[in-house]
A and B are shown apart, each in its own frame.
Chain A
Amino acid sequence: MNDTMKIRAQLKNDLTEIKVLMSHPMETGRRKNDFGDVEPAHFIQLVTATLNGKTVLEAQWGTGISKNPYLTFRLKGAKAGDKVAVKWLDNKGESGAIETAVTAA
């Protein structure tokens, strides 16, 4: 469904570890391309994560997050089969979303 994001949510001893990888250029607006032109800023500004529809993490990002952002976070109390969803929105209004079910390790 979505080839620009990857997600894994693994449950181990009551802790669920979620790993997310997003495909995004994260341009700062300062980098010059091969033609000497400044690449306009293009970066993810907002990331939200939900567990069964309830917000668990809300992040605001600047240009200092690396290209193709990687994020790991942990939840307490999630069960196998619970739904974890992550969405992002960038400064151009583009967005991405992915959902997965928690799996026991």
Chain B
Amino acid sequence: MATTLATPLRALAAVWNKPAFDSRDVEGALQGLGVGGSTGPSRDIVLTAPDMAENGAIVQIEVESRIPDTEAISILVEKNPTPLIANFVFSNGALPLLITRIKMAETSELKAIVKAGGKYYSVSRKVEVALGGCG
């Protein structure tokens, strides 16, 4: 069972964006993702996160894009050792919304980058972290 399911995924392993995820700064991560130029700030991205996180190992966040034709959402934490947390690509009726739990090493800007209609938009908010969780 495990092997038959793994086969198509193994082929996908080659697509994992190593340069973007290994980058130690936001600029490098964005470059790795192919985000060129500036990302215009947008009020149509709703980024929900606690103002103050007790435990940086588990910070629940929600990102929703209200920008038409949203294709992808990326999440970055500026001050993490490797800032890029995740990249989500939506298709076939999936709404551009996600809730997940992330690690934050210290108090930092949390960023969401939205790709919509071939353009990039961003939103950023500060999350205070009491106890870092990136060990």
Contacts and interface: CB of A to CB of B under 8 A. Distances in A.
Contacts, number: 130
A46 B93 contact: no
B82 A67 contact: no
B122 interface: no
A50 to B, nearest CB: 9
A74 B89 CA distance: 13
Given A64-B84, A72-B99, A57 B16 contact: no
Contact of A46 (B13, B85, B97): B13
Given A66-B101, A70-B101, A74-B97, A57 B5 contact: no
A74 B22 CA distance: 29
What is the interface of chain A mostly: helix, strand, loop, or mixed? strand
A104 B89 CA distance: 26
Bin chain B's interface residue count: 35 or more
B7 to A, nearest CB: 9
Interface in A54-68: 54-67
B89 A57 contact: yes
B67 interface: no
A74 B92 CA distance: 11
Given A45-B16, A64-B82, A71 B9 contact: no
Contacts of A73: 88, 94-95, 97-99
16 contacts: A28-B134, A46-B9, A48-B9, A48-B12, A56-B92, A61-B86, A65-B102, A66-B100, A66-B101, A70-B99, A73-B95, A75-B93, A78-B93, A89-B10, A93-B6, A95-B2
Interface of B: 1-2, 5-6, 9-10, 12-13, 15-17, 21, 57-60, 75, 77, 80-82, 84-95, 97-103, 133-135
Interface of A: 1, 15, 28, 30-32, 45-46, 48-49, 51, 54-67, 69-78, 87-89, 93, 95, 97
6 shortest A-B CB distances, which residue pairs? A64-B85, A72-B99, A66-B101, A62-B21, A56-B94, A89-B9
